[in-house]
Structure 1
Amino acid sequence: MTILVTAASGHLGRHALDALVSAGVEPADIVAGARTPSKLADASARGIRVVELDYDRPETLTPALDGVDRVLFISSSDVRDRVTGHRNVVEAVRAAGVDKLVYTSAPKATTVDYGIGADHRATEEAIAAAGIPAVIVRNDWYHENYLGDVAGARESGVIAAAVGDGRVASASRADYAEGAVAVLLADGRIGDVLEFAGDVAWDYTQLAAAASEVVGREVVYVPQTREEKAAQLSSFGLDAGIVAFVVGIDDAIANGVLADTDGTLSRILGRPTTPLVEGLRAGLVAA
């Protein structure tokens, strides 16, 4: 069985390659796709086949899928136009006739109307319309998303956000990658939609406490209004589109979109998900 990992040079993709090898898949049976293959020289040295794969260049997709049986389709990080590239991938996978696709989506993508979910909803709909045998894994937030906040708090002693008392059931990227790989390698589950999340839903006061433990100084959570958050982001030189995107994430957290956890991910992993403090500490060391 030959397995393709798309966006394999990204953080989640690299963890997925590691998880495949750890699960006993021979490196020669793994194909790692990346927009810039040279970024995967280390994977090539391990015996993994590296191919050019650019969501926005359909001519790279068909060759990358040649001989592939299963695909881990990692969603694009392009927040400006994710859907066009995703639809290119879906069409290429449909034409290739793969046995199974696992797509990394976003929480509640088809049931809650929020900014980051819209692109994933469109992609899930495209996968279904194409008739691809697929499993959707909807990843909640990554611990690593907060490394910048924690690093900044080392100097400021503050984590500020417009999330109110919203909660986040985050886990580490490695947890999500291992879960997706387990689903990809297992037989069955075609048609399933799995909401992946960490075992604990924490609020931002608890995030500040975790940051305090990691950086070795008191860190406090300072609630912001949407307007204050937008002004802060604009002061960093971010354009209006990115500001709206980030504020929209805070809105989603405030509205509980990232708060649910039912243990699905840890059951698939066969172990608890990585605790917040542990994930933050490891991420700062690796950064």
Structure 2
Amino acid sequence: MTTYAVTGATGGLGGSAVRSLLERGVAPGDVVAIVRSPEKADALRDAGVTVRVADYGDVDALTAALAGVDRLFFVSGSEVGQRIAQHTNVVAAARTAGVGLVAYSSILDADTNPLTLAAEHVETEKLIADSGLRYSFLRNNWYWDNYVAGAGAAIESGTLYGAAGVGKVAGAARDDYAAAAAAVLLRDDPRPIYELAGSERLDYTEIAATIAEISGTPVRYENLPEQAYAAALEGNGIPAPFAGILADSDAGIAVGALDSDSTDLADLLARPLVSLADVLKAGLAGHV
């Protein structure tokens, strides 16, 4: 019997990965959902999944949560700037617990990616590689889901704002990345690195056109300089540090950082990938 664990199991990516494991035939009793907020885990318990509580800041709790785990989907922390300390705890706990495989959610082309977001992923990959643990780096590209909130605002204003120029994004649905993580955990001999990107490669003008198509409302793309875009985001209530990260990410898109012709994601899933249009339709169901 193989025991699978997923961190961040009440979050979007982790929760979807748990569902994917169950859909692929893993018995609920062989799945460990590691959560920070147990009150959010009722649906997991109802499904028969084992729920264990641990925060990335508590190495002892993490070690206990990983006891008896053979294969771990390690979802990267969400607190940018604090990830290295937190991820160090996860790696240490996995080593102590004797986890047989760690599949880590990284970023596309991590070792060459210019985005500010890539730095902590690169360091985490090094932590894992140096630990002696068997690993598989799941280098996820952008989620199409990231554009749902912006699409709502674009429909209202008629304009999608950004700083991505004519750069393309080879995005995919979050659920597809989660399904890929489940597929890797279930492989007898997974590769050390998967560059996971979608089959659609769209620039922001094309993304705006997709929003217009599903909403029936004209939407155009307006490109702004990086700093102007960051300031606009701040003006709309986004905290300055996060606004800077978003603007930096768009600037990376402009130079091709999130474009890719890798077929690793489609190969793992062996089915058509969920389109941007379908992600937007689901995310904006009450908006259009």
Aligned to 1:215: 215
Q: Tell me if the contact between 1:3 and 1:71 (Cα under 8 Å) persists in the aligned partners.
A: yes
Aligned to 2:45: 44
Cα shift at 1:238: 3.4
Tell me the distance in 1 between the aligned counterparts of 2:240 and 2:219. Answer: 29
* Counterpart amino acid of residue 10 in structure 1: G
Tell me the distance in 2 between the aligned counterparts of 1:261 and 1:12. Answer: 23
Tell me the distance in 2 between the aligned counterparts of 1:169 and 1:144. Answer: 13
* TM-score, length of structure 2 as denominator length: 0.96
Alignment deviations for residues 30-66 of structure 1 (CA, whole Å, 9 cap, x no partner): 0001110111111101100111121112221011011
Aligned to 1:238: 238
Tell me the distance in 1 between the aligned counterparts of 2:175 and 2:280. Answer: 13
Aligned to 2:96: 95
- The reply on whether 1:249 has 2:245 as its aligned counterpart is no
Q: Which secondary structure does the structure 1 equivalent of 2:133 belong to?
A: coil
Stretches (4+) displaced over 4 A: none
Cα shift at 1:142: 0.7
Q: Tell me if the contact between 2:142 and 2:258 (Cα under 8 Å) persists in the aligned partners.
A: yes
Cα shift at 1:286: 8.2
Tell me the distance in 1 between the aligned counterparts of 2:176 and 2:238. Answer: 31
Q: Tell me if the contact between 1:166 and 1:253 (Cα under 8 Å) persists in the aligned partners.
A: yes
Tell me the distance in 1 between the aligned counterparts of 2:21 and 2:173. Answer: 17
- Equivalent residues in 2 for 1:160-239 (5 A)? 160-190=161-191, 192-239=192-239
- The reply on whether 1:24 has 2:25 as its aligned counterpart is yes
Alignment deviations for residues 140-159 of structure 1 (CA, whole Å, 9 cap, x no partner): 01111000111112211110
Tell me the distance in 1 between the aligned counterparts of 2:39 and 2:8. Answer: 13
Q: Which secondary structure does the structure 1 equivalent of 2:195 belong to?
A: strand
- Equivalent residues in 2 for 1:103-142 (5 A)? 103-142=104-143
Aligned to 2:66: 65
Tell me the distance in 2 between the aligned counterparts of 1:282 and 1:90. Answer: 35
* Counterpart amino acid of residue 90 in structure 1: V
* Counterpart amino acid of residue 154 in structure 1: I
Q: Which secondary structure does the structure 2 equivalent of 1:202 belong to?
A: coil
More deviation in 95-104 or 119-128? 95-104
Aligned to 1:273: 273
Q: Tell me if the contact between 2:114 and 2:257 (Cα under 8 Å) persists in the aligned partners.
A: no
Indicate how the Cα distance of structure 1 residues 237 and 41 shifts in structure 2: closer, same or farther if over 3 A, else same: same
Indicate how the Cα distance of structure 1 residues 59 and 104 shifts in structure 2: closer, same or farther if over 3 A, else same: same
Question: Gaps spanning 5+ residues in structure 2: where?
Answer: none
Q: Tell me if the contact between 1:200 and 1:261 (Cα under 8 Å) persists in the aligned partners.
A: no
More deviation in 277-286 or 265-274? 277-286
| Aligned-residue RMSD, C-alpha | 1.3
Identical-pair percentage: 39
Q: Tell me if the contact between 1:6 and 1:72 (Cα under 8 Å) persists in the aligned partners.
A: yes
Tell me the distance in 2 between the aligned counterparts of 1:173 and 1:103. Answer: 15
